[in-house]
Amino acid sequence: MYKWVDQPYITLEPRARFLVWAMRRWWHDNATVGCGSREVGPAFHCYGRIAALPHFQIMMLALRDTLIEPFRTGWTEVSEHEAIVLSLLAGAANSGSELDAERLAGFVTPQGAQRLAGAIAGLADKLAPQSFQAWNPSHQGKKS
Which amino acid makes up residue 137?
A: P
Q: Looking at residue 72, what is its pLDDT?
A: 87
Rg of the chain over CA atoms, in angstroms?
14
The residue count of the chain comes to 144
Burial environment of residue 32 by CB neighbours within 10 A (0 to 12, 13 to 18, 19 or more): exposed
Report pLDDT for 97.
57
* DSSP code, position 50: G
Per-residue pLDDT at 139: 44
Nearest one of 97, 72, 92 to 20, comparing CA atoms: 72
- 40 has a pLDDT exceeding 80: yes
